[in-house]
């Protein structure tokens, strides 16, 4: 338990961190990678180059300072961090390294304002946070290892199938190279994979949602090729997977993780809302509900740019046609001359929940959201304006801010 004096000192830094936090975290990462270059293999260098990781860490540090009196307020954020850490293989021995560079960065960036008392207070606060994360991560590591077919760390998986799903998305079917079993996971969870990136001279990890129902002898991930844009380079890992990973190839995979998944304690109607490649965890949930013959009402709402990037269309259409409890609503931003309403799309424009409120709103339904940051914000706002309670909305956002993967 931190003393009142320590909490007061740490909390007093919250306004400074909100203003200058990115400068601090940018310095921190540069310092850590200079002194501990082996950690460059652990961190997504695409997020580093784009600044997303620095912004995410700055926000987290400022939030921790602001809520130092009651860190339990941050429980949902910490849970997400813990799952990510376990998927990347973060271990207790990494925390002293991070702490050393964080405290040094506080001194070096804040200068005279970083008194010995302030740095000591942050050392104690960081120690408390590290202890909480390490304890929860140990639980997840143990759970991953104890499951039938489970493991910890990286495990070699062989590509036993590669299937284009759209102009941008390709599915990879992965089976353990050791011939062992595949563990159960929760629909909506993800795995980390890692590949060698020659341009960086590094192994690089990325997270991809599992895109099929659990219970198979293989895993499926469906990966969007991230093309270069005006403000960002092409995704090194996604392009390497598309261009270089073929059937028979081997890929390092970490155990399934993630706190975004179909609720196991609810029998409420399900509304699956996705934008672009955000449909991948939704397909996992949908397939699981179908495989278990779940009778509750299911609404599948998806938005994409146009026909060419509409993944898994025939699969969803077949489910909706065969099952009376499943209804779909697909939005195309660009409707082509050959597109047929009801077969290819259902509505023109971006996803507009207000326009289909009678189709998607159900008493006490659970709403699952996944897609780009702008899509997520728009759908959260729409659901709130339609009277949906915040605790019925479950969301997953990709990356640290949309950086290429």
Measured CA distances, 243 to 92, 238, 248, 327 (Å): 36, 9, 14, 35
Does pLDDT of 66 surpass 60?
yes
Please enumerate, as own/partner, the contacts of 103-109 that have beta carbons within 8 Å and a separation of 24 or more.
Answer: 104/31, 105/24, 105/25, 105/27, 105/28, 105/31, 106/24, 108/27, 108/31, 109/20, 109/23, 109/24, 109/27
- Identify the pLDDT of residue 402: 32
- Identify the pLDDT of residue 397: 65
Sheet hosting strand 169-176, strand order edge to edge: 202-209, 190-197, 250-253, 155-164, 169-176, 219-224
- Identify the pLDDT of residue 270: 97
User: With contact defined as beta carbons under 8 Å apart, do 122 and 68 qualify?
Assistant: no
Does pLDDT of 165 surpass 50?
yes
Mean pLDDT of 232-257: 94
- Looking at the annotation, which residues are catalytic? 95, 137
Averaged confidence pLDDT in the chain: 93
308-314-319 Cα angle (round to 5)? 145
User: With contact defined as beta carbons under 8 Å apart, do 393 and 383 qualify?
Assistant: yes
Note the pLDDT tens digit of each residue in 307-366.
Answer: 999 999 999 999 999 999 999 999 999 999 999 999 999 999 999 999 999 988 887 899
Q: Are strands 250-253 and 169-176 parallel, antiparallel or unpaired?
A: unpaired
Rounded to whole angstroms, how far apart are CA atoms 103 and 118? 10
Q: Is 219 helix (H, G, I), strand (E, B) or coil?
A: strand
User: With contact defined as beta carbons under 8 Å apart, do 331 and 347 qualify?
Assistant: yes
Q: Which residues of 374-399 are buried (b: 16+ CB within 10 A; e: fewer)?
A: ebbebbbebbeeeebeeebbbebbbb
Dihedral sign of CA atoms 254, 256, 258, 260 in order:
positive
**Portion of the chain with pLDDT greater than 90, in percent:** 84
Which H or E element spans position 396? strand 393-397
- Identify the pLDDT of residue 307: 97
Mean pLDDT of 10-27: 92
Whole-structure pTM value: 0.93
CATH of domain 4-146: 1.10.490.10
> Any idea where the domains of the chain sit in the sequence?
4-146, 155-253, 270-397
Rg of the chain in Å (alpha carbons): 22
- Identify the pLDDT of residue 400: 37
- Identify the pLDDT of residue 398: 61
Dihedral sign of CA atoms 397, 144, 97, 31 in order:
negative
Does pLDDT of 52 surpass 90?
no
Side-chain-side CA neighbours of 231 within 13 Å: the count stands at 6
The stretches of 36-157 forming alpha helices (DSSP H) are: 45-50, 52-66, 75-88, 94-110, 116-146
Does pLDDT of 405 surpass 70?
no
Note the pLDDT tens digit of each residue in 187-196.
Answer: 999 999 999 9
Rounded to whole angstroms, how far apart are CA atoms 151 and 143? 9
- Identify the pLDDT of residue 160: 98
Mean pLDDT of 66-75: 92
Mean pLDDT of 102-116: 94
User: With contact defined as beta carbons under 8 Å apart, do 274 and 311 qualify?
Assistant: no
In this prediction, residue 385 has a pLDDT band, given cuts at 50, 70 and 90, of: very high
Side-chain-side CA neighbours of 376 within 13 Å: the count stands at 17
Mean pLDDT of 90-108: 96
In this prediction, residue 401 has a pLDDT band, given cuts at 50, 70 and 90, of: very low
Q: Are strands 190-197 and 202-209 parallel, antiparallel or unpaired?
A: antiparallel
Does pLDDT of 231 surpass 80?
no
Q: Which fold has domain 155-253?
A: Elongation Factor Tu (Ef-tu); domain 3 (2.40.30)
Rounded to whole angstroms, how far apart are CA atoms 240 and 97? 31
- Identify the pLDDT of residue 404: 33
Rounded to whole angstroms, how far apart are CA atoms 64 and 174? 38
Is CATH 3.40.50.80 what the domain over 270-397 is classified as, yes or no? yes
């Amino acid at each position: 338990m931190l003393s009142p004096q320590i909490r007061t000192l740490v909390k007093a830094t919250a306004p400074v961190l909100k203003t200058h936090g990115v400068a601090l975290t940018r310095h921190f990462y540069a310092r850590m990678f200079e002194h501990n270059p082996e950690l460059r293999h652990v961190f997504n260098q695409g997020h580093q180059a784009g600044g997303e990781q620095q912004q995410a860490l700055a926000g987290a540090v400022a939030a921790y300072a602001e809520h130092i009196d009651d860190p339990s307020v941050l429980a949902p954020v910490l849970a997400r961090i813990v799952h990510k850490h376990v998927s990347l293989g973060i271990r207790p021995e990494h925390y002293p390294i991070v702490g050393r560079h964080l405290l040094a960065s506080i001194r070096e960036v804040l200068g005279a304002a970083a008194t010995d008392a302030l740095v000591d207070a942050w050392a104690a606060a960081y120690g408390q946070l590290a202890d909480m994360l390490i304890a929860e991560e140990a639980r997840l590591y143990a759970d991953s290892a104890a499951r039938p077919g489970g493991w910890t760390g990286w495990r070699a998986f062989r590509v036993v199938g590669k299937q284009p799903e759209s102009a941008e998305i390709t599915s990879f079917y992965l089976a353990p190279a050791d011939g062992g079993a595949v563990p159960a996971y929760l629909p909506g969870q993800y795995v980390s994979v890692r590949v060698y990136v020659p341009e960086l001279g590094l192994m690089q990890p990325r997270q991809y949602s599992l895109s099929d129902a659990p219970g198979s002898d293989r895993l499926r991930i469906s990966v969007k090729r991230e093309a270069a844009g005006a403000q960002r380079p092409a995704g090194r890992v996604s392009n390497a997977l598309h261009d270089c990973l073929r059937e028979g190839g081997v890929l390092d995979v970490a155990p399934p993780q993630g706190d975004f998944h179909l609720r196991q304690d609810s029998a409420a109607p399900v509304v699956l809302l996705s934008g672009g490649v955000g449909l991948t965890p939704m397909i996992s949930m949908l397939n699981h509900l179908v495989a278990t013959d779940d009778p509750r009402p299911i609404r599948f709402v998806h938005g994409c740019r146009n026909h060419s990037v509409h993944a898994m269309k025939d699969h969803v259409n077949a489910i909706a046609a065969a099952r009376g409890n499943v209804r779909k609503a697909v939005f195309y931003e660009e409707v082509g001359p050959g597109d047929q309403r009801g077969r290819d799309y259902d509505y023109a424009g971006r996803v507009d929940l207000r326009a289909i409120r009678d189709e998607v709103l159900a008493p006490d339904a659970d709403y699952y959201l996944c897609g780009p940051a702008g899509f997520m914000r728009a759908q959260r706002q729409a659901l709130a304006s339609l009277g949906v309670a915040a605790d019925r909305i479950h969301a997953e956002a990709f990356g640290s801010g949309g950086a290429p993967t």
